[in-house]
Amino acid sequence: MKKGLRRSKQYSGVSLIEVLITMVIIGVVMILVSITLTTMIRTSIISTSRTATREESEFILELLRKTIRNSNTEDLRIYNVGGRAYNNTTGMTIDSSLTGYESTVTDGVSGTEIHFRPVGYGKWICVGFFPDYSDNTRGYVLKSVRQDLETSSDCFNSATSEYSQNTILLNSEDVDVNSLSLVFFPTYDENYLLTIDLDMEPIHWIANSDSIKPNYFKQTVVSTQKLTWED
């Protein structure tokens, strides 16, 4: 009679230590991937914000350069305006103790708003800086076109009928304007030399990145080109 042989069954598996090591490795990989993706997103946002701010500042300054260059000094006025703010939600200006339109600034004194009429162009062009009506840390640059400008304060007066049709916002909602400064100096040939300083920064910025200053400051110099005839 044959005796039955018993075969012992062996089970293969992984130990708890091996499971823990695997989980640690997976966790480290996921952390590295997360850090890489976060860095890429931060870099993309910073690059996009800087590009948008730079392009908008160059657009505003180029607009001023082209139009001021073709203007006569008799049709160029600079004001240092106070007491007028802008509501970005309604697109309307709000006045409170309005000042600065009584007289133009003298040479060497900075202003925040300029009115000028290019040669051969029957309309007045106005460009000015106004703070936000509810947040003084934010600002906007507006442009308006008027056929007649007997009253200087009417150029950006939202109560007038021409305001909504002829006034536009030059900076987008993603870019904040800190300041716009305009200074003129008379030259020997009866022209004006203007220096324009524009300080802007992006609205959407990465927190905890104070080491990289987001402000974009740009200055340009432009001169009127009045023609003089000598006898």
Residue type, 34: S
**Residue 110 within any structural domain of the chain:** yes
**Per-residue confidence at 230, pLDDT binned at 50, 70, 90?**
low
- Residue pLDDT, tens place only, 117-127: 988 888 999 99
Number of domains in the chain: 1
Of 197, 213, 194, 217, the residue nearest 205 (C-alpha): 213
**Residue 182 within any structural domain of the chain:** yes
**Residue 166 within any structural domain of the chain:** yes
Q: Measure the N-to-C terminal CA separation of the chain; round to a whole number of Å.
A: 143
Better-predicted residue by pLDDT, 49 or 70:
70
**Residue 177 within any structural domain of the chain:** yes
pLDDT cut 70: percent of the chain above it: 86
- Residue pLDDT, tens place only, 176-229: 999 999 999 998 888 899 999 999 988 877 655 555 557 889 999 999 886 554
**Residue 46 within any structural domain of the chain:** yes
The model scores a pTM over 0.75: yes
Better-predicted residue by pLDDT, 4 or 80:
80
Token pair of 78 as six digits: 């600079």
Estimate to the nearest angstrom the gap between the alpha carbon of 95 and the chain centroid.
23
Do the beta carbons of residue 166 and residue 177 sit within 8 Å? no
**Per-residue confidence at 64, pLDDT binned at 50, 70, 90?**
very high
214: left (phi over 0), alpha (psi -120 to 50) or beta: alpha
- Residue pLDDT, tens place only, 4-44: 555 555 555 567 787 788 888 888 888 888 888 877 777 66
194: exposed, middle or buried (Cβ count in 10 Å: 0-12, 13-18, 19+): buried
Estimate to the nearest angstrom the gap between the alpha carbon of 26 and the chain centroid.
44
- Residue pLDDT, tens place only, 120-161: 888 999 999 999 998 888 999 999 999 888 888 999 999 988
**Mean pLDDT over the full length of the chain:** 84
Estimate to the nearest angstrom the gap between the alpha carbon of 133 and the chain centroid.
17
- Residue 189 confidence (pLDDT): 80
Q: Rounded CA gap, 132 and 110, in Å?
A: 20
Do the beta carbons of residue 185 and residue 223 sit within 8 Å? no
Half-sphere exposure of residue 144: CA atoms within 13 angstroms, side-chain side: 28
**Helix residue spans in the chain (DSSP H):** 16-69, 163-166
- Residue 228 confidence (pLDDT): 52
Quote the domain boundaries for residue 141. Answer: 32-223
Do the beta carbons of residue 204 and residue 93 sit within 8 Å? no
Q: Is the pLDDT of residue 168 over 90?
A: yes
Q: Is the pLDDT of residue 174 over 90?
A: no
**Residue 98 within any structural domain of the chain:** yes
Backbone angles phi, psi at 40, to 5 degrees: -65, -40
Better-predicted residue by pLDDT, 51 or 69:
69
Looking up tokens 């987008």, which residue turns up?
172
What 97-103 contacts at long range (C-beta under 8 Å, 24+ apart), as own/partner pairs, is 98/153, 101/152, 101/153
**Residue 18 within any structural domain of the chain:** no
User: What are the Cα distances from residue 216, in Å, to 6, 201, 208, 227?
Assistant: 84, 6, 18, 35
- Residue 229 confidence (pLDDT): 47
**Residue 20 within any structural domain of the chain:** no
